[in-house]
Structure 1
Amino acid sequence: MADASHVVFATTGSLGDLHPFLAVGGELKRRGHRASIATSAVHRAQVEAAGLEFRHMRPDPENTPAFHARFMHPRTGGEFVYRHYLGPAIRASYADLVQATRGADLLVSQSLMALAAPLVAARTGIPWASAVLQPMCFFSLHERPNYIPLPLLPWLCGRSPALHGKVFGYVRRFTESWMRPVQDFKRELGIDSSGHPMYEGQHSPACVLAMFSPLLGRPQPDWPAPTVQTGTALYQPDDAALPPTVRNFLARGGAPLAVFTLSSAASNDAGGFYRAALAAAQSLGLRALLITGGLAESTAMEPLPPTALRIGYAPFEQVFPHAALIVHSGGSATCFKALQAGKPQVVVPHAHDQLDNALRLRQLGVAKVVTGKRLGRLRAAMRQALADDGMRRHAQALGERSRREDGVSQACDALERMLVHA
């Protein structure tokens, strides 16, 4: 093991963007290192509850329906995130991260979201590793570009890397204006601004951690050379006990159980999802566990029937194994926990990487996909998934394979190797 060192993780976004670094930071701490998380103020309580050091890194999201609706918009969410949220805050993010890494031995950043990390590494010389949490974020020309909101073009690009390269060139040019504040600031700092911050500029030249399961995405020829695929780093807090109401509901038995969740990001802009979920479960004779994040939209459904229970939060790894069917929005960590549970899935993607994750699950043969604007098809997709014996058997087999992964240990091993060389 390397000598005790201080590792700073830089991330922003939802709990799905935070939890992998809580998991890796916690394991590094158990190995004798010091770990800090630089992130927005909204995550301070989670960081400190995990026993790690919190460091504030702006921007801080607005906790308003309007902000969440723009953040999770299926077509314009990406532009909002970079042009109106992360990009304009680059100077504040940089100042905060310089302070957070003062005296540290290693900086680990979430690709695409911690935009200040490459700048801090370039200016201060701190050893830097980047981490990719979703396969889509490599933007490989050898895979179908599901982030393109057109029906035919992604399919054609998936069959022709040459065509994909031409289309991707347009995407690069189209998104350059989103990154103008970052590029301007890089020039002010005297940093080469030729690399696009959303693409090659997001990756460390020393170490790139592909922190997702090879079941969801295998290495491609155009991944960065120093990439190490670790598998998904799942955060499982020691005190994550199920509330008695949930334990009693799961133990009650009776009709098969469907678990519905939009995770932390999409739940802020749920629309009519939970109403449609409850109606579909009732019509199919299922019990329904609605994990809603405490949304006002979901409370309007109460009083719920005896066959349904609403709860703001529950550890997925403890409730998913009880389900006959898991319905979720396609966040990368949720996808992997559903895979580990070995159960059929219905994915209702909202924005960002969720559609790509959903289509990868469908290609694996373990999920049906319902786009957010087609909630009327949710019942049919659930019925088909429940009736598909092949999907059930395939999900069980992949569950056994996924449970053998240990992304947390693999990521820590890679970081300790980097600390030794640094």
Structure 2
Amino acid sequence: MTDTAMPQQHIVFATAGSLGDLYPFLALGRKLRQRGKRVTVATSANHRQHVLDTGLDYVHMRPDPENTAAFHARYMHPKTGGQFVYQDYLSPAIRRSYDDLADATRDADLLVSQSLMALAAPLVAARTGIPWVSAVFQPMSFFSVYERPNYLPFPLLPWLCGRSPQMHQNIFQYVRKHTEQWVRPVLDLGRELGIAEQGHPMYEGQHSPGCVLAMFSPMLGGPQPDWPASVRQTGTAQLPPAAAPLPEALQRFLERDDLPLAIFTLSSAASNDAGDFYRNGLDASGALGMRALLITSGLAASSRLPEPLPDWAFRVDYAAFEQVFPYAAVVVHAGGIGSAFKAMQAGAPQIIVPHAHDQLDNALRLERLGVARVLPGKRAGARALRQALQRVLADSGMQAAAASVAQKAKAEDGVSQACDVIEKVLRDA
């Protein structure tokens, strides 16, 4: 009898950036593999082990970030970080990125790319004709003129643009023109490949005309009139942590109920440019009679802190947020979309100290939702942090809002919804 079984469909995910830009795709990849698909993740070398640990295939896609304090300080600069990422990091490597991704998708049935960062994906899709889905992880990435542009570095402009879509449109056209120089190598390569004009790689050109996944919670932002028509909002895709118990000493510390607990952590990118964040958190907690859990990682693991720590403080280089956030009276972080959503699921009020990129926009959305206070300026000192902690602990309204939001956040299943959309695209291709 002839074997008529269908060949295994192959999906390639393409992403760059921090772990927050990788984990949603690992979550989708694992679910799609359970549904019988072959999944490959094309990303930088520093993410290789994370991909393999999830059981997915890995392909190297350049560029690779430097693991130095100088690189990360430029990457996370609050005003010039975006220019550095595109002009000095991603765009100069576009030809290598393109070659890597073209090789990775040679036998693929579908390409799924992270918007904004995987700059080679639109070019590969246009050149090869492979079906293509793009994914947006945070609301800001749509750059809607109907929302306040919190990415602008001058405080007055976001406020003015937030009041007038027409003014926002005028300012946006200037920003769009100004940033073309940041991605000039990408535009040049597209012309060399004979690809028809796709638009600005950071704006309209980042989105697939066939399907865009809006992979963030509707509580943080919903459809706007100028979103692409192909958007499908799925909710946040979370990668569950490995099923491993917490270290006994950490578990005992968390279960203490003598003092309220503040958890201090930074995103994987911001942790490499931590400054005095952890020291200020320790000082503020001590002054208020709180316990402090300091979750350090990356270059932040070398942050200078007292040795030994007082008995009301505990430091770890890693802890699964799902396991520790539910113990917190407040979570203090930089505003990464993944950290924010896990705090939402835990029902924990948040204090956000944004560093760069989408973090301020995420923070202000959480503040409007009633679950967070924002400390603008990545170098917020111990005094400002102490005052914010005092206000959050005394704010029963914020605590009630956080508990209400938690019920809705726990009900989201962004992974299944996004995978359903991806499988429909495969069926229709």
Counterpart residue number, 1:322: 327
Q: What is the identity, as a one-letter code, of the residue corresponding to 2:96?
A: A
5 Å-filtered alignment, 1:94-109, equals 94-109=98-113
Aligned residue among 371, 374, 380 for 1:374: 380
Q: CA RMSD in A?
A: 1.2
Q: What is the identity, as a one-letter code, of the residue corresponding to 1:127?
A: P
1:130-153 CA-to-partner distances (Å, cap 9, x unmatched) read 000010000000000000111221
Counterpart residue number, 2:314: 309
Cα contact 1:145–1:157 (8 A) shared by 2: yes
Mapped pair 1:171 → 2:178: no
Counterpart residue number, 1:140: 144
Distance in 2 (CA, whole Å) between partners of 1:280 and 1:273 is 11
- Return the offset for 1:298: 2.4
Q: What is the identity, as a one-letter code, of the residue corresponding to 1:390?
A: G
Mapped pair 1:125 → 2:129: yes
Aligned residue among 393, 399, 402 for 2:406: 399
Cα contact 1:77–1:352 (8 A) shared by 2: yes
Distance in 1 (CA, whole Å) between partners of 2:249 and 2:49 is 24
Distance in 1 (CA, whole Å) between partners of 2:53 and 2:207 is 30
Aligned residue among 148, 162, 167 for 2:166: 162
Out of 124-133 and 369-378, give the one that drifted further. Answer: 369-378
Counterpart residue number, 2:346: 341
- Return the offset for 1:252: 2.9
SS of 1:248's equivalent in the other structure is helix
Cα contact 2:241–2:320 (8 A) shared by 1: no
- Return the offset for 1:325: 0.6
1:325-383 CA-to-partner distances (Å, cap 9, x unmatched) read 11010000111111111111100000000000000000111111012133241111111
Distance in 1 (CA, whole Å) between partners of 2:161 and 2:270 is 28
Q: TM-score, normalised by structure 1?
A: 0.98
- Return the offset for 1:4: 3.8
Cα contact 1:72–1:350 (8 A) shared by 2: yes
Q: What is the identity, as a one-letter code, of the residue corresponding to 1:298?
A: S
1:187-211 CA-to-partner distances (Å, cap 9, x unmatched) read 1101123510000000000000000
Cα contact 2:9–2:109 (8 A) shared by 1: yes
Aligned residue among 189, 196, 208 for 2:193: 189
1:289-314 CA-to-partner distances (Å, cap 9, x unmatched) read 00011525424432211111111111
Check 1:384–1:29 CA distance in 2 against 1; reply closer, same or farther (3 A cut): same
Q: What is the identity, as a one-letter code, of the residue corresponding to 1:333?
A: G
Mapped pair 1:412 → 2:416: no
Distance in 1 (CA, whole Å) between partners of 2:242 and 2:155 is 44
Q: What is the identity, as a one-letter code, of the residue corresponding to 1:414?
A: V
SS of 1:264's equivalent in the other structure is coil
Distance in 1 (CA, whole Å) between partners of 2:39 and 2:33 is 6
Distance in 2 (CA, whole Å) between partners of 1:245 and 1:293 is 19
Distance in 1 (CA, whole Å) between partners of 2:391 and 2:33 is 45
Q: What is the identity, as a one-letter code, of the residue corresponding to 1:17?
A: D
1:25-49 CA-to-partner distances (Å, cap 9, x unmatched) read 0000011111111000000110000
Check 1:411–1:240 CA distance in 2 against 1; reply closer, same or farther (3 A cut): farther
Segments of structure 1 that go 5 or more residues without pairing to the other structure are none
Cα contact 1:348–1:370 (8 A) shared by 2: yes
Cα contact 1:257–1:289 (8 A) shared by 2: yes
SS of 2:111's equivalent in the other structure is strand
Mapped pair 1:50 → 2:57: no
Segments of structure 2 that go 5 or more residues without pairing to the other structure are 1-5
Q: What is the identity, as a one-letter code, of the residue corresponding to 1:415?
A: I
Distance in 2 (CA, whole Å) between partners of 1:3 and 1:333 is 35
Q: What is the identity, as a one-letter code, of the residue corresponding to 2:183?
A: M
- Return the offset for 1:390: 0.5
SS of 1:327's equivalent in the other structure is strand
SS of 1:301's equivalent in the other structure is coil
Cα contact 2:276–2:379 (8 A) shared by 1: no
SS of 2:12's equivalent in the other structure is strand
Counterpart residue number, 1:24: 28
Check 1:93–1:241 CA distance in 2 against 1; reply closer, same or farther (3 A cut): farther
Identity of counterpart residues, as a percentage?
A: 65
Q: What is the identity, as a one-letter code, of the residue corresponding to 2:263?
A: V
SS of 1:310's equivalent in the other structure is strand
Counterpart residue number, 1:280: 284
Check 1:129–1:68 CA distance in 2 against 1; reply closer, same or farther (3 A cut): same
Counterpart residue number, 2:79: 75
SS of 2:134's equivalent in the other structure is strand
Cα contact 2:238–2:415 (8 A) shared by 1: yes
Q: TM-score, normalised by structure 2?
A: 0.96
Check 1:151–1:254 CA distance in 2 against 1; reply closer, same or farther (3 A cut): same
Q: What is the identity, as a one-letter code, of the residue corresponding to 1:182?
A: V
Distance in 2 (CA, whole Å) between partners of 1:205 and 1:223 is 11
- Return the offset for 1:246: 1.7
Counterpart residue number, 2:260: 256
Mapped pair 1:111 → 2:115: yes
Distance in 2 (CA, whole Å) between partners of 1:241 and 1:38 is 31
Cα contact 2:279–2:305 (8 A) shared by 1: no
Out of 109-118 and 253-262, give the one that drifted further. Answer: 253-262
Mapped pair 1:265 → 2:269: yes
Distance in 2 (CA, whole Å) between partners of 1:227 and 1:333 is 20
Cα contact 2:277–2:379 (8 A) shared by 1: no
Distance in 2 (CA, whole Å) between partners of 1:353 and 1:135 is 9
| Number of residue pairs aligned between Structure 1 and Structure 2 | 421
Check 1:194–1:14 CA distance in 2 against 1; reply closer, same or farther (3 A cut): closer
Q: What is the identity, as a one-letter code, of the residue corresponding to 2:407?
A: E
Cα contact 1:271–1:297 (8 A) shared by 2: no
